[in-house]
Amino acid sequence: MRDHGAEVVLDTARFWTSRAEHDAAADRYELHNQIGPDEYHENVSNSVFVNRMVVWHLEAALRVFDWLHTRYPDKAADLEARLALTPAERALWRDIAAKMVIPFDAEQGIHIQFDGFFDLEYVDVPAYTPRVTSLQSIYGVERTNQTQVIKQADVVMLMALLGDALAPHDVRLRNWAAYAPRCDHGSSLSTATHAWVAARLGLLDAAYAYFERAAGTDLEDNKGQHRARNSRRGVRRAVAGGRARLCGAAPGCGREPGGGPGAASAVVVCALPVLPPGPAVRVDRTAGRGCADLRDVGAP
């Protein structure tokens, strides 16, 4: 962080400052012509994911700047000079963070994915199951862009990253109820994220169901035959990371900061065959036992 990370954090904060547009009449900042995690919708305004994460980024940049000045004043002075970073610019970061638009529907008590999202055509996504292809492949790119079909975790991803720093538990439950049924899971990363968030919300049956779908991404190639080459070429690391969070394999994962229900209680046994090269091995992690049982299971 001292030698390289701080510069990246501070300079990217400057980038977001250049992208924020000030609405003088409302005295607030907005972000236009952007795209959030939901890549089915391009050039949107005020993606709640992007806007809120920009706030997080600017606040983090201010903390990094203070940390660098406190711990490494010479390094901070050198970086400040090279970036021509002024007190006025840092004050602008604080102003943008404080006044950024965070789309929220007070009547429904939910965050709005982006401006105008709920004005788009509603599609009953669960009605299109079972299937192994994306709704974008069925509807086409242009038509999908005019619907409320979400490619992958978006508001749900925001809840995954920020937890109760985003909103109280009841608001996040309403967010889940609004957005999980609208998600197409067109990305292989989406179901693992939904599983993780469902577990943190205490929705353990949903967490387990999403976990099974996430495991099937690699074990069953459930993204469709046109993607079979992906599974043959190896396990998706990001999906595996999401599954690890749900299983409680990573320290501190699967629990709310306040000690809410954990994901591990939802998962009885997580079994993953590890395919060639090398001997096939089966890994079982049983909830509550806190150990891994590895044994040779022969050829696949």
Length of the chain: 300
Q: Which tokens hold the place of 216?
A: 């099937």
Catalytic (active-site) positions = 39
> In this structure, what is the dihedral angle of CA atoms 282, 186, 112, 160, given to the nearest 10 degrees?
20
d(CA 236, CA 230): 8
d(CA 242, CA 207): 12
